[in-house]
């Protein structure tokens, strides 16, 4: 059995440090430059599925459908790959609204300046249309109003909105001991 032996000096020289990778570290200074990945990347596998379907149909036609290696299974596989390809192309919406634009739309929809807020990208419907879910509080301290605004990621329209008085009780948190 081979075991790696580490001397005491080597163990002291390399302390274990637990840290996040740079792209997940929220304390980075260049977070303003972060670009959210576009949803239209789904089109790439769609084109690959369609190309695979064309190749499978070409093999079926070229070698005939009665062989042992090339048979009707190629047509079934081409059909399934074609369906996946069309679905991938249809669900590959272009994400034209980023999280900052969605926050602006939410602020306009709430009608008050926004304080703490959270933006989450999700998908809606069978064709997976991207939408931003914005949970926001107004800028007062403590916030008087909270809202959930769902903003379409393709055209920036408001899909749904719920605006209500903030039901959270802040008296216990802000009271002095």
Q: What is the pLDDT of residues 123-147, one digit of tens each?
A: 999 988 999 999 988 888 788 888 8
Residues 3 and 84 in one domain: yes
Q: Contact, 78 vs 60, CB < 8 A?
A: yes
Read off the tokens for 9: 């000096």
Nearest to 127 by CA among 102, 154, 156: 154
Does residue 141 share a domain with residue 162?
Answer: yes
* Coil vs helix vs strand at 101: helix
- Same domain? 22 vs 80: yes
Domain total for the chain? 2
**Are residues 132 and 99 in contact, defined by beta-carbon separation less than 8 angstroms?**
yes
- The per-residue pLDDT for range 86-105, each reduced to its tens digit, is 999 999 888 888 888 888 99
> What is the tens place of the pLDDT at every residue in 38-85?
778 889 999 999 999 999 999 999 887 777 788 888 999 999 999 999
């Amino acid at each position: 059995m081979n075991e790696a032996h580490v001397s005491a000096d080597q163990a002291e020289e390399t302390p274990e440090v637990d840290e996040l990778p740079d792209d997940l570290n929220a304390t980075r200074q260049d977070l303003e430059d972060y670009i959210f990945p576009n949803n239209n990347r789904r089109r790439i596998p769609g084109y690959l599925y369609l190309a695979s379907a064309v190749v499978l149909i070409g093999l079926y036609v070229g070698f005939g459908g009665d062989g042992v290696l090339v048979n009707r299974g190629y047509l079934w596989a081409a059909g399934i790959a074609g369906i996946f390809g069309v679905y991938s192309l249809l669900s590959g919406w272009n994400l034209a609204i980023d999280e900052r634009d969605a926050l602006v739309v939410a602020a306009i929809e709430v009608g008050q300046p926004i304080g703490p807020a959270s933006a989450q990208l999700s998908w809606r419907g069978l064709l997976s249309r991207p939408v931003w879910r914005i949970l926001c509080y107004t800028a007062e301290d403590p916030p008087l109003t909270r809202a959930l605004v769902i903003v379409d990621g393709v055209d920036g329209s408001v899909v749904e909105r719920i605006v209500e008085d903030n039901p959270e009780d802040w008296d216990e948190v802000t009271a002095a001991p």
